[in-house]
Structure formats: C-alpha cells, structure tokens
Chain A
Amino acid sequence: MPDLDRARSGEHQTAPRAVVVVGASHAAVQFAESLRSNGFGGTVQLIGEELHQPYNRPSLSKAYLKGEVTVESLALRGSNWYTDHSIDLTLGERVVRIEHGKNGSGRVHTSKVHSGENEVSSYVYDRLILATGASPRKLNIAGTDADGVVELRSVDDAHSLRDRVASGPVVVIGGGFIGLEAAATIRSLGGTVTVLEAGPRLMGRAVGEATAAFILAAHRTMGVDVRLSTAPEAILTDDHGAVRGVRVAGNDIAASTVLIGVGVEPNIALAESLGLSCAAGIVVDHRGVTSEGTVLAIGDCTVQPHPGADLDLERSVRLESVDNAVEQAASAARVVAGEPDSVRAVPWFWSDQGDWKLQIAGLTGTHDAVVVRSDPDRPRRLVVGYFTSGRLSAAECVNAPADFLALRGALNNGTLVTPEEFADTSAPLKQLLKPQASRASATA
C-alpha cells in the first residue's frame, strides 16, 4: 500500500491504518469507541490477558461481592458492540515482546495466558497504544502466599473473595478505597471485618483529614473494626498453610481470609522494554503521547501532567480512576485520528463504601485553606472545599452528589466560589453555577 509505505518512510506521516491496543480494560474500550467516533476507518485490535470480556472494575468491591450482579452484567459493552464497531477483541493472550520501528510501526507478539505456550500470535501495527493498567502492590511480610490471602483487582479475585466471606473473619490490610469498599460490603453481608491501616488516617493519599475522619466514623458505625497506625507484622498460618490470623504489635487477630489492599503498581515492563521514559508509571504528555512520540499510553499505567482547566506541566500525577481512563482515552484517540486537542475537565473520583458515597473533584496539594461545609440537620453529609489563593481548587463530598456536581462544574468553568459562600449552608451550592446576574437577582 503506497500510503503505508509513505508513513513508514517517516517523511510523510499519514493516518495510521492498523492500531493495536495492549490491554482490554476501561481505557482500552473507551479508546476504541472514541477512535471510531472520530471517524477512524482502520483496524482496531484490543489484546487482553483475562478471558472475561472487558468489564466494569469498580463494581467488583461492591455489587459483585454482594452477588447482586453477574459477570455478564459487569461487561462494559455487549458482545455485539465489538463486531458492530469492527473492533477486534483478543482475550486470554499476554504480550510478551514488541518489535517497534522508528516510524511508529511494528509487531506485537503474544502467548496464551492459560496454556503456557510460547509465542502464538503476532499483530502488526502502525500505531501502538499501551493500556497495561496496574497490579496490586505486594506486601513484604511473612505469610502472603498462604491459602486465604487474596487481592482485589480482577473479577476472578472478587469471585474468590466472595466465596470466602462466609467462612470466617476477614482482615483487610490497607485503609484505601479498595479495602474500605470491600470492608463495608463484607459488613453488609454480615461478616466480621478488621481494617489495618499503617498510616495515621484512612485514604491518606486520596483525601484530607476532615473527610478521612468522617469516613472513619462511618465505618465504625457500620461495625468495621478500623485500626489506624497499625502495620501487620506477619500473616499467621495453620499446619496446612491456610490463613489463621494476622499478627500486629503484641496481638494476634483471628482471620480466615486476608485481603491485601495496599495500592497498585503500574505495569510498565513492556514500556521499559521499548525504552519509553518511565517514572512510577509510563510518562506521557497531556494527550497520552509517550517519550517515543509514535507510541501512546493511557489509564492507570501512566504518569501525566496535572490535568484540568489549568494544565500544570510542572506537577505530574498518576490517576487511578474511571474518569481518567475515559479522558485519556478520548485524548489519545484524537491524536491517532489526527484531530486537534480538546479541553480536559478536572479529574474526579468516587468511592461507594456501604451507603456512604465519597466523591472528589480536582486535586489537592496546592491549597492554602480548607473550608468544611456541614449542616447539623444533615449529619450524614459533608462537603470540604480546598482553596488556593482564595479560589476553589478541589472539593470532597460525602453523600452530597448534587453539591459535588455543582462544585465540579464550578471547577471546570472557573466559576468564582468564595470560602464564605462555600461555608454558608443557607444557600444551595448549585446556585453558584448560575450566571452572576441571576445569582444577584436570586439573592435580592
């Protein structure tokens, strides 16, 4: 094909005709969808290691553990969707090697995950997208290989945890989103749960002190035994190598299951093998382009400039969220389709822990003031605003989804919200989104 030849010469970069995405999770599926909606007419190949069709991962710690939904209903898209959009989906294959040429084209070699065979297939591309995701971080204490120690990243993990919940008490190591969502769900199933958090508060990397304290109280109300500043020393096993407990400072906690939820590590081995710049994640620009300009990367595996209305090239972040997967995928698809950049919205996150809904918009770290908005008549709600030089820069909401939408909108639109307005519970926050003129008349 003359077009391809010209592209490969590197002199005239033409639109790619064959796109291969390594990974088949949220970012990968969204990328494929965005690419097609941008009018891309070439081939799109997604390669995933798991045998399940791409599924909705955040449900694993909640609806799926409860047994409320099936694997099929977790699917991100129906089976027909892939064929209807001419998206080739390969499941159960692991990428073992990539031959990458300077002009951006190359070949991906895979093996079957479950048969242990050596390279079985190869896929030619003229544009490569890495959506390799992240893996649960390992804990370096004795007993982590015992029968009854589980992680929670894949639907198979969730399945094994679900099967174990009825068999006895669970100890969750790590007080982050995954551990707390699982703990709340196990409580709602009538199980006994202890959460061990090594740090002085819950969700230390994700939320501020006021929100962490509020969620801590919520978990204690639900009957979760939360122990802060408590690091496990060893997982204890019986004569058969099965979990029987967890040792913490001079104290053994009985357990038949241990869930390790101490965060994730980005999967960067393939990126490193390609010589891409990595720093606790694959380094990408605001559009998902890696240090090797012809390869893109999206999702949990990436490190990127702090996104939002004020793109901050000096601050790089790794964001583990559905919103980020979707936004990065859409940006990367525009690059591949040759479309101009679009404006990225502020990042946002959510975590449902029992019937406590936590939502976060924007990123903290630059703030110089924290304002708490709480109403004694609504004790289950909390809204916390972070202000940088008098301007709202981030917000955390508990059980206040409408306030969350208003604040996220304000952050995206650059709407001025003063700390005084924020703290004043006599006026709804959604009023802040209205144009200044109608706000004036509304308060007149």
Chain B
Amino acid sequence: MSKVFYLQPDGVEKVIEGTDGESVMTTAVKNGVRGIVGQCGGALSCATCHVFLAEDELDNFSAPSEDEDDMLDCAATDREPNSRLSCQLLLREGSDIHVTIPSSQL
C-alpha cells in the first residue's frame, strides 16, 4: 500500500491509499479526484491526466518517454519542469507520491 496526496489548485488536498502497480491517474479516477480526467484510460493518447510531481520525488520514477515528453508540450495547462502524465506514474509499495493538479486538463 502506498498513499497518493492530490493537491488541488485551490489548496484542498485529498489522500488516497492506492493499489500497488496501479497508476496515479487510475487511482484518482477510481476515487473521484477532481481534475484528473484520464480519458484514454492510460494509453498515452490524451494528456488529460497532467500533474506536477513533487520535486523531491522526480527521481523515484524513470524519466518521461519521448512520447510523454512531447505530449506534455500539448497539455491544456502549460508544462513545468516537474510535469508528468500521471498514467505513467505507478504506485510502489511503501513509497508515497505527492502531486499537484493543474487548473485545466481539457
């Protein structure tokens, strides 16, 4: 079990205990976290699950693939250095994840 901390643009935070192996996107959608759409179900097809990952957790994940990197350039909210598509961030045992949700996904 690991926890995901979802911080909304308005400062409201929601903490979800997720299932290891599932993504930050799936965990959000299944639990009704506002602002993460995940329209394509995690197939790297839509860029509607954009998040800003906590700076000190960036190294806990492998770097974005070329496609993810390109897609972030086309996200509805401008990308930052810590932008990721949350469908590509998989939960791992004992490792909490903190993400901030951008103001718009569509």
Q: Which residues of A contact B (CB under 8 A)?
A: 33, 56, 58-59, 73, 75-78, 80-81, 84-85, 322-323, 326, 345, 350, 352, 357, 359, 401-402, 404-406, 409, 430, 433
Is B70 on the interface with A (CB-CB < 8 A)?
yes
> Which B residues lie within 8 Å of A357 (CB)?
43-45
Q: Which residues of B contact A (CB under 8 A)?
A: 19, 21-22, 26, 29-32, 39-41, 43-47, 67, 70-71, 73-75, 106
Cα distance A76–B31 in the bound complex, in angstroms: 10
Measured CB to CB, the closest approach of chain B to A192, in angstroms, equals 26
> Which B residues lie within 8 Å of A59 (CB)?
41
> Which B residues lie within 8 Å of A404 (CB)?
45
Measured CB to CB, the closest approach of chain B to A177, in angstroms, equals 13
> Which B residues lie within 8 Å of A85 (CB)?
32
Cα distance A161–B40 in the bound complex, in angstroms: 24
Given contact pairs A58-B41, A326-B39, A357-B45, A402 touches B71 in the complex (Cβ within 8 A): yes
A75 touches B45 (CB 8 A): no
> Which B residues lie within 8 Å of A323 (CB)?
39
Cα distance A401–B21 in the bound complex, in angstroms: 24
> Which A residues lie within 8 Å of B46 (CB)?
350, 405
> When the two chains form the complex, which single residue of B30, B40, B70, B73 contacts A78, counting CB atoms closer than 8 Å?
B30
> When the two chains form the complex, which single residue of B32, B44, B47 contacts A77, counting CB atoms closer than 8 Å?
B32
Measured CB to CB, the closest approach of chain B to A253, in angstroms, equals 31
Measured CB to CB, the closest approach of chain A to B100, in angstroms, equals 21
> Which B residues lie within 8 Å of A76 (CB)?
29-30
B73 touches A402 (CB 8 A): yes
- Grouping DSSP codes into helix (H, G, I), strand (E, B) and loop, the A interface class, with mixed when no group exceeds half, is helix
> When the two chains form the complex, which single residue of B31, B39, B70, B73 contacts A322, counting CB atoms closer than 8 Å?
B39
Using CB atoms, name the residue of chain B closest to A62.
B43
Measured CB to CB, the closest approach of chain A to B37, in angstroms, equals 9
> Which B residues lie within 8 Å of A75 (CB)?
30
> Which A residues lie within 8 Å of B29 (CB)?
76-77
B43 touches A350 (CB 8 A): yes
Measured CB to CB, the closest approach of chain B to A322, in angstroms, equals 7
B44 touches A73 (CB 8 A): no
Jot down 29 A-B pairs with beta carbons below 8 A, ordered by A. Answer: A33-B32, A56-B41, A58-B41, A73-B21, A73-B22, A73-B26, A76-B30, A77-B30, A77-B31, A77-B32, A78-B31, A81-B30, A81-B31, A322-B39, A350-B40, A350-B46, A357-B43, A357-B45, A359-B45, A401-B67, A401-B70, A401-B71, A402-B71, A405-B47, A405-B74, A409-B74, A430-B70, A430-B74, A433-B74
B19 touches A73 (CB 8 A): yes
Using CB atoms, name the residue of chain B closest to A429.
B74
Identify the 7 closest CB pairs spanning chains A and B, nearest first.
A402-B70, A405-B74, A78-B30, A350-B45, A402-B71, A56-B41, A401-B67
Most buried by A among B32, B41, B73, B74: B74
Given contact pairs A58-B41, A77-B32, A402 touches B26 in the complex (Cβ within 8 A): no
Using CB atoms, name the residue of chain A closest to B75.
A405
Measured CB to CB, the closest approach of chain B to A328, in angstroms, equals 14
> Which B residues lie within 8 Å of A350 (CB)?
40, 43, 45-46
Cα distance A404–B48 in the bound complex, in angstroms: 13
A-B contacts besides A58-B43, A402-B71, A433-B74, 4 pairs, CB < 8 Å: A58-B41, A77-B31, A404-B45, A430-B70
> Which A residues lie within 8 Å of B21 (CB)?
73
Cα distance A345–B22 in the bound complex, in angstroms: 29
> Which A residues lie within 8 Å of B73 (CB)?
402, 430
> Which A residues lie within 8 Å of B39 (CB)?
322-323, 326
Given contact pairs A73-B26, A85-B32, A322 touches B74 in the complex (Cβ within 8 A): no
Using CB atoms, name the residue of chain A closest to B21.
A73
Measured CB to CB, the closest approach of chain B to A119, in angstroms, equals 33
Measured CB to CB, the closest approach of chain A to B83, in angstroms, equals 14
